[in-house]
Amino acid sequence: MITATNPSYRLVSDHIFAVVRQNIDNNQKAFFAQQRYEPGQVVAEFSAGKTLSRPTYLTVQVGIDKHIMLQPEHLQYINHSCDPNVFFDTYTMQVVALKPIAEGDEMTFFYPSTEWDMVQPFKCFCGTSRCLGEIKGAAHINPQVLRSYTLTRFIQQQLHDRSSKEKRA
């Protein structure tokens, strides 16, 4: 299905508050808001479909050797951006808006906000002024840069633990 407003996308699934669309040129799926959100507003609740001890490219990290498959599954189509507009809060298990989101905007989140050390690093082409280039997980980002992002409690704890280890060394 091709819509007039997004000629290069076809609709994959409709979730009322958002839709999943597939880019016809590169087959990548993406998640688009169907309503407005204000910063801090809860976009969706999620739960752990399955908890894995090793990450995959679809899992979200909630602890050391704890990686969840997202439920509902369609949330896995929220892609990475270095200038994200949503955050996966793995403590409250909510997707929260970080900035105003307009109807039709793609929802994106910052993978290193949940992932400490990614198994499948990738080159980011988000094209935003904040783009960090290669995305490998929070462990590989300058802590000062990282702290400009909203991070899960797990990532904050990892940062804290690493810096206390460095101080002791």
What's the CA gap between 99 and 81, in Å, rounded? 13
In the complex, least distance from residue 28 CB atom to Zn ion, rounded to whole angstroms:
14
Q: Which DSSP helix (H) or strand (E) runs through 96? A: strand 94-97
Q: Give every strand in the sheet of 18-23, ordered side by side.
A: 9-14, 18-23, 29-33
In Å, the largest CA–CA distance within the chain is: 59
Among 124, 139, 140, 150, binds Zn ion (CB under 5 A): 124
Q: Mark the segment that binds Zn ion (CB under 5 A) among 36-44, 85-93, 127-135, 153-161.
A: 127-135
Is 118 among the residues that bind Zn ion (CB under 5 A)?
no
Count of chain residues binding Zn ion (CB under 5 A) = 4
In the complex, least distance from residue 78 CB atom to Zn ion, rounded to whole angstroms:
15
For residue 165, report the phi and psi dihedrals to the nearest 5 degrees.
-65, -45
- Could you give the 3-state DSSP secondary structure of residue 154? helix
Q: Mark the segment that binds Zn ion (CB under 5 A) among 6-14, 64-72, 120-128, 159-167.
A: 120-128
Is 126 among the residues that bind Zn ion (CB under 5 A)?
yes
- Going 169 to 118 to 149 to 39, the CA torsion angle's sign is negative
* Choice between 11 and 131, CB closer to Zn ion: 131
Q: Mark the segment that binds Zn ion (CB under 5 A) among 30-38, 113-121, 126-134, 159-167.
A: 126-134
Q: Are 21 and 6 in contact (CB under 8 A)?
A: yes
Is 58 among the residues that bind Zn ion (CB under 5 A)?
no
- The residues that touch Zn ion, with contacts defined as CB under 5 A, are 82, 124, 126, 131
